[in-house]
Structure 1
Amino acid sequence: MKRLAFLLATWFGSGRLPGPSGTWGSLAALPPAAALVWLGGPWLLALATLAIVAAGWWSSEVYTHSTQREDPSEVVIDEVAGQWMPLVVLPFHPWAWLAAFIAFRLFDILKPWPVSWADRRLPGGLGIMADDLLAGLYAALLLGFLWPYLEI
């Protein structure tokens, strides 16, 4: 089970790539999200997001306990869950998904309140997941509101 937790927490090793692990995790989230939308539409992606939140909480908890590190940068399943949130509310279109990627990454990096609060205050797997879920929620709300007004 520990191997499965490590595999999920690093999103199949994408969090171990050199450079910005959060960006790699967000990019690695896009192909499976596209497959889910293609197979079952945004409802399947929404259900999968809920499953990833649960799996992320568990796997990041196992990972942090095993490594004795509080918020390891290679744990990127939180980016996957956060990245999928705006994709649920947007059309399956390259420009929409690029906007979702950029918006999520900006909210994840800038950490407006309460993203910053969750990042600093919540412990363990919940803390690892919560800040990215809030960043994903911000991106989903912003783009869900703006997208119908954009002429793309």
Structure 2
Amino acid sequence: MNILSQDKSLSKLSLKNPIHFLALGFGSGLAAKAPGTFGTLAAIPVFLLMAPLSLSWYIGLTVLAVLAGFYICDKAAKDMGEHDHGAIVWDEIAGLLITMIAAPAGWQWLLAGFVLFRFFDILKPWPIRWLDAKVHGGFGIMIDDVLAGIFAFVCLQAGAYYLV
């Protein structure tokens, strides 16, 4: 069963396909407005499930999410026939997981990580914007959010260092 949408690219995907389901952030990428923000919101339960893990397990699963994302995003984009369609939000999920590595516990830190990640993902300071424009395929879809996650991680850790 295909996703019903006026967007012809989306009509080529199915939530029954596990790759499409993941690429679309469990369906969150189908939001009519701000799919990247909804994709990042979909990352919160994933983070909350991973937060109790040891740091090594958390990092290992985050690396796995990034590496799998290269394939997931590439496959979905090829199936859609469109590079980096806004509905592909697995990259936002991986980006928030990167942001939250070793973050202090508490909803305030999760909120700060969310805001910082969205800030860098939307603003795209150098070299994020350059990579977003020049690198294609699954790696290209993922790399700008990986870097946004790293930038947000550094800011969150700096905040934790000075405030905790």
TM-score, scaled to structure 1: 0.93
Higher helix share: 1
Aligned-residue CA RMSD in angstroms? 1.3
Query: Does 2:25 match 1:19?
Result: no
The alpha-carbon deviation at position 144 of structure 1 amounts to: 0.8
Higher relative contact order (CA 8 A, sep 6+): 1
Query: Does 2:87 match 1:35?
Result: no
Out of 5, 19, 27, the position equivalent to 1:5 is 19
Query: Does 2:62 match 1:49?
Result: yes
Q: Which runs of 4+ in 1 moved over 2 A?
A: 41-45
SS class of match (1:13): helix
TM-score, scaled to structure 2: 0.86
Q: 1:103-137 CA deviation, whole Å, 9 max, x = no partner? A: 00000000000110111010110000000000000
Unaligned runs of 5+ in 2: 1-13
The alpha-carbon deviation at position 41 of structure 1 amounts to: 3.5
The alpha-carbon deviation at position 65 of structure 1 amounts to: 1.0
SS class of match (2:54): helix
- Between the aligned partners of 2:68 and 2:128, the Cα distance in structure 1 is 20
- Between the aligned partners of 1:46 and 1:76, the Cα distance in structure 2 is 20
Q: 1:3-30 CA deviation, whole Å, 9 max, x = no partner? A: 1211111111110122100000111101
2:161 is aligned to 148
- Between the aligned partners of 2:119 and 2:109, the Cα distance in structure 1 is 15
Query: How do residues 3-152 of structure 1 correspond to structure 2 at under 5 angstroms?
Result: 3-38=17-52, 40-150=53-163
Q: 1:20-62 CA deviation, whole Å, 9 max, x = no partner? A: 0000011110111111112x13333211111111221101111
**Structure number, greater radius of gyration:** 2
The alpha-carbon deviation at position 142 of structure 1 amounts to: 1.2
* Contact 1:64–1:70 under 8 Å retained in 2: yes
Q: Which amino acid aligns with 1:10?
A: L
Unaligned runs of 5+ in 1: none
- Between the aligned partners of 1:82 and 1:112, the Cα distance in structure 2 is 15
Q: Which amino acid aligns with 1:5?
A: I
- Between the aligned partners of 1:80 and 1:50, the Cα distance in structure 2 is 12
Give percent identity, aligned residues only.
36
